[in-house]
Structure 1
């Protein structure tokens, strides 16, 4: 059995750690409320653009556009969204595993990565994947202007055919206790992903001026911007939710450990007192 001094020192160490995890839990909870509201405010804009593209593809025929063209090459660009810090459970590792699994399964000719978050940047370097750029400040406080820069870089790489396919890896926010790592295809657009929910909406053919191609040329970059902005918002909320859950679990584990150490300390103290009494009685008998 460990000495009383060692147990007491261990108990103080765990108690100190518990105070830190409790503070981090409170901070994450406060940030989560703001991030959750931001996600809810951003969703309608993305949903409307998605509906507009769905309407164009459903009510038009024979559209030939670079954003819809499936290329033969296998140059793939991944936008990987993670956090800058750890202590968030499996939040970062789940996204990285999703990307690395996709890379191995598809055997790309070349793989490029744009990282949003230090954890993604570090992990991709370990995987020896070419890191094209990093937006580590973007995940802390996602804003539309920074998301616009990222989306313009992505669209430009696709238009110059430096990337034949573009994917974004992020963590979707479902609830405080539920977050899901996802890999979504950004470009080229697949008509199968833009089905109208109401089949009656695609009955009437529509005319676009100057043309469907020109409308897509204008709206698809906006769609990419809104999608990246939305995934950044979702990932930020998911990070706070994951960290809150992880710190709450760590705090509870620390409480259980303190209880066990308290029990061990009391047993050690009782054994010490019993030994002292035994020594006193033995000494008295000897006299």
Structure 2
């Protein structure tokens, strides 16, 4: 009984230490989430504006651009955004499951993966899926330069006709408790349409320098870069939200486990005390 009681005490201390770690990780993830959420929301406003400018440039400059060229999708590239670290609940599992389902649905002759994040890289490498490029160690604050590095590679391979289409799978952030994996097509670019307000109202007098066609030629690659940058920010906010939720659940589970083990410890102690009293009483009776 003493050995079991001592082992139970060791387990309680171990779970208490784990609870302290999970609570600390929850606080850290919460602090990172606030910053990631602010950046994701700010990027949405910027993307909204660059989308509007691109739509106006398309209307003025036509749609003659190599990134708009549509080809039969025989060779497809999938850009999959995951995290570099675990302990984020079902975050990575959900986005990887969505990427796998979309890859099967595309039914292309060849599909290569551009893995953003160690979890996605390791997942596809273990399943012998061709990894064309890997981008790891992006940190907690992805930069536009990192998104541009990804965009430059896929744009170059698309223009060289090494791939016929490029799709992006990432996690869209809604709030700390809700985030949804989704897949969008990066290349060929789908020209954004002007909003209903722009169509219904009078034509605004935007001035393009040097001219709409030249602006359009330079703006379209930036549009692709912004799509990737926004996906990185949305995924990072989703990751921190998922990690905060997972650590909160782990802390609550540890607290409940500690409560149960303390009750069990008290029962064992009470049983030991009762047995000792019974032995003392029995010994005293034997001496009479």
Counterpart residue number, 1:230: 230
Cα distance in 2 between the residues matched to 1:61 and 1:146: 29
Range with greater deviation from structure 2 (20-29 or 171-180): 171-180
Counterpart residue number, 2:46: 45
Counterpart residue number, 2:195: 196
Partner deviation per Cα, 1:13-38 (whole Å, 9 max, x = no partner): 11111111011111111111121222
Partner deviation per Cα, 1:220-260 (whole Å, 9 max, x = no partner): 10001111111111111111111111101100110010000
Shift in CA distance, 182/55, structure 1 to aligned 2, threshold 3 Å: same
Shift of the alpha carbon at 1:214? 4.5
Cα distance in 1 between the residues matched to 2:123 and 2:263: 42
Shift in CA distance, 201/69, structure 1 to aligned 2, threshold 3 Å: farther
Give 3-state SS (helix, strand or coil) of 2:140's partner.
coil
Shift of the alpha carbon at 1:106? 2.0
TM-score by length of 2: 0.90
Answering whether residue 35 of structure 2 is matched by residue 22 of structure 1, we say no
Q: Does the Cα contact within 8 Å between 2:62 and 2:213 map onto a contact in 1?
A: no
5 Å-filtered alignment, 1:89-100, equals 89-100=89-100
- Unpaired runs of 5+ in structure 1? none
TM-score by length of 1: 0.90
Q: CA RMSD in A?
A: 2.5
**How many equivalent residue pairs?**
285
Cα distance in 2 between the residues matched to 1:156 and 1:96: 25
Cα distance in 2 between the residues matched to 1:219 and 1:16: 53
Counterpart residue number, 1:185: 185
Give 3-state SS (helix, strand or coil) of 2:115's partner.
strand
Counterpart residue number, 2:140: 140
Give 3-state SS (helix, strand or coil) of 1:190's partner.
coil
Give 3-state SS (helix, strand or coil) of 2:68's partner.
coil
Shift in CA distance, 143/209, structure 1 to aligned 2, threshold 3 Å: closer
Q: Does the Cα contact within 8 Å between 1:158 and 1:165 map onto a contact in 2?
A: yes
Answering whether residue 92 of structure 2 is matched by residue 108 of structure 1, we say no
Shift of the alpha carbon at 1:64? 4.1
Partner deviation per Cα, 1:123-143 (whole Å, 9 max, x = no partner): 111222111111112243311
User: Where in structure 1 do 4 or more consecutive aligned residues deviate above 6 Å?
Assistant: 205-212
5 Å-filtered alignment, 1:1-287, equals 3-57=4-58, 59=59, 63-191=63-191, 194=193, 196-198=195-197, 200-201=199-200, 214-287=214-287
- Unpaired runs of 5+ in structure 2? none
Cα distance in 1 between the residues matched to 2:66 and 2:235: 29
